[in-house]
A and B are shown apart, each in its own frame.
Chain A
């Protein structure tokens, strides 16, 4: 039984450009089969018991299987003049969608997983930064984050995560950057390399579900964002892909 708070959120289910080009996507959302397709000029998402709410933003189709609790969150970078949005494609990952999101919030792994690209020893220290749950937008924000990065592009990079099941997700690495010169293929190859390095971690964390029991995993100060994220998930009942009690 999936809770209303989970069902009433927006989830990415396809690249808008592919659906608009006439491709139909048969996929899963929260364990249920859905079909994303073009009907006339409208993108529709059909579930077993009828159509889902749909919107298109940031190059993606988003669906809500319940009654949308709010509009889709804004990504101000996506609309910033001069930013170039890069479609990297999709990567299937055998992990909880919540683990995939949490990894995007983590910087301490850069020197070890993205060695000499996003980080490098001995520059491993994570200085104190600030984390807040902004009540007005209901979002987790980390600010004043500084880190030594040998090659990071001046970009806003992250990922868009579709929860297929509690232990399986599709991730679209996503970036919006100030760069009009680097060839598209090079940017895509770079971002794919980075995310495949992340996947080698995500598919080897035990358990596959994200533990929300505080006794199960030991955080430090560098994990303030992850701590806030786990609290926020728990408070909002967004527990699809989470493990509540240690097994």
Chain B
């Protein structure tokens, strides 16, 4: 499954009024959800003094930088500079936006203006996200019966039961990879979660499954 879209997080891990750090192709991003539920993803850098916007705070439909409180609307444009309350900020002051949508319980990122749709995860339920200190290639090698590029799909034997699942891999600039686990059957979520923890251990220790 080749796609323009990368999984940033599970949708429920970014509730309204929350901002988190994410990555797209090695670029650090801030992903946030407004009070009304609108998602945005921007480069993780305030244009003013370079502070990470993922350390900021959400109020209503805006994200503020924690350093000087500059307020950005969901379009990315700076709306308010607290040091100069009467000033209308120049339109050039704006956060560098990416496409960001929620589909199948997952938050997806792509370069701005991406025309394609994110992968179809119909029939799969999000379970959890873990971070693995190994490369996507090492992780894929540890599960040879799962197929795919950034989305590994297939059936895994867990104590005699075949569990159908999907792993969305998001490589990180630091060298590790974020892994989002989805299951076909909600009832498998606990054993699949334990299996994933074991997979992390094997991938980090370089053991093949």
Contacts and interface: CB of A to CB of B under 8 A. Distances in A.
A219 interface: yes
What does DSSP make chain A's interface, helix, strand, loop or mixed? loop
A125 B52 contact: no
Contacts of A125: 82-85
B47 interface: yes
A53 interface: no
18 contacts: A108-B82, A108-B83, A112-B69, A124-B85, A126-B84, A200-B55, A201-B66, A201-B67, A205-B50, A206-B44, A206-B45, A207-B50, A216-B50, A219-B48, A220-B84, A220-B87, A222-B68, A222-B83
B81 A220 contact: yes
What does DSSP make chain B's interface, helix, strand, loop or mixed? loop
Interface string A109-137: 10111000000010011100000000000
B117 to A, nearest CB: 31
Contacts of B81: 220
- Identify the 9 closest CB pairs spanning chains A and B, nearest first: A124-B82, A222-B83, A108-B83, A126-B83, A205-B50, A204-B52, A112-B69, A206-B45, A206-B50
Interface string A79-114: 000000000000000000000000000101101110
Given A204-B52, A205-B49, A217-B49, A113 B66 contact: yes
Contacts of B82: 108, 111-112, 121, 124-125
Contacts, number: 67
Interface residues of B, number: 23
A13 to B, nearest CB: 28
Interface of B: 28, 44-45, 47-52, 55, 64, 66-69, 81-85, 87, 92-93
Contacts of A113: 66-67
Contact of A124 (B51, B52, B83): B83
A204 B68 contact: no
A127 B84 CA distance: 8
